[in-house]
Amino acid sequence: KGWLTESLYMYQGHWFSPTKLISIGTVMVSQELFQANPTDIYLVTQPKSGTTWIKALAFAILNRTRHTNVPTHPLLMFNPHDCVPYIENEVLRTKPTYSDATSTRLFATHMPYTSLPQSIHDSSCRIVYMCRNPKDVLVSLIHFVNKVRDKSLDRITLEEGFEMFCKGVSPCGPYWDHVKGYYKASLKHPTRILFLTYENMKRDTRSNVKRLADFLGCPFTEEEEAKGVVEEIVSLCSFKRLSDRNKHGTIREGLPNEVFFREGKVGDWSNHLTKEMGQILDEITTQKFRGLDITF
């Protein structure tokens, strides 16, 4: 049994849908066609790890002088997914030549590290990886797929979702392998790959926004800090602001805007998973992340 479709298929060690959204086909086309530029920035996540949020934050940071926090700010008019395209969708949409190396391009992807297009590995572009604790990812994923999967398919029960996730079967999963791939790469290439967690971003959004701006090569000036620009960005991208703005309409790929916003909290898993399920996921995580400094 699959998540968005009837089944998932394994490609290069990870699970993908055959047709929907980020599919095996779009990954293969990206691997063949996508050309990275050294000035590019890639935001990488697994689905339900805070992609929408990190897209909004990075977009707001990079475009802060072009768009100030006024009613026409793109994030007040469009879903963050329409402001920052996925490589996988963009390649199919525009069949790009990607020769414009003069400006910073901001893309997102769910691709595992080892499956990224070779030109990204070969380039000096920067990658921001955000992960989230697996229990909240799982609960968020179950809610999401039950809202968006084909009406002809049954709902995924908590038990079914839990069983598949623990076996490593999740979109772009195994969850733990995806995280480990980027974590290890970030240790090897610390100036190129920034490793963040949703939980830490929630705990101290302001410091992490500053850290992100430093990494993206556009640190806040003293004057900007004094004017409260960091706080404006935190507020512009907050769950409340974004979810209020995205109650209606759809993103370019056709999904309703509102499906990307549910609770936006750390630890909501405990309202859905049993204690035993939580313990099992904790045990798997401890075992898989042994020796790595990954905490949530």
- Region from 36-44, 86-94, 186-194, 263-271 binding ligand A3P, contact rule CB under 6 A: 263-271
- From 81, 110, 143, 178, the catalytic residue: 110
143 catalytic? Reply is: no
Cα 295 vs. chain centroid, distance in angstroms?
18
- Region from 99-107, 163-171, 258-266, 286-294 binding ligand A3P, contact rule CB under 6 A: 258-266
Alpha-carbon span 143 to 121, nearest angstrom: 34
From 33, 119, 263, 288, residue interacting with ligand A3P (rule: CB under 6 A): 263
Q: Is 43 in the site for ligand A3P (CB under 6 A)?
A: no
Residue 184: how many other CB atoms lie within 10 Å: 14
Nearer to ligand A3P (CB atom), residue 144 or residue 220: 144
From 17, 52, 133, 285, residue interacting with ligand A3P (rule: CB under 6 A): 52
Q: Is 261 in the site for ligand A3P (CB under 6 A)?
A: yes
CB of 263 to ligand A3P, least distance (A): 4
Q: Is 165 in the site for ligand A3P (CB under 6 A)?
A: no
Q: Is 200 left (phi over 0), alpha (psi -120 to 50) or beta?
A: alpha
**Of residues 182-201, those binding ligand A3P (CB under 6 A):** none
From 15, 16, 34, 53, residue interacting with ligand A3P (rule: CB under 6 A): 53
Find the angle CA(133)-CA(74)-CA(200) to the nearest 5 degrees.
Answer: 20
CB of 7 to ligand A3P, least distance (A): 21
Q: Is 170 in the site for ligand A3P (CB under 6 A)?
A: no
Residue 199: how many other CB atoms lie within 10 Å: 16
Catalytic residues: 110
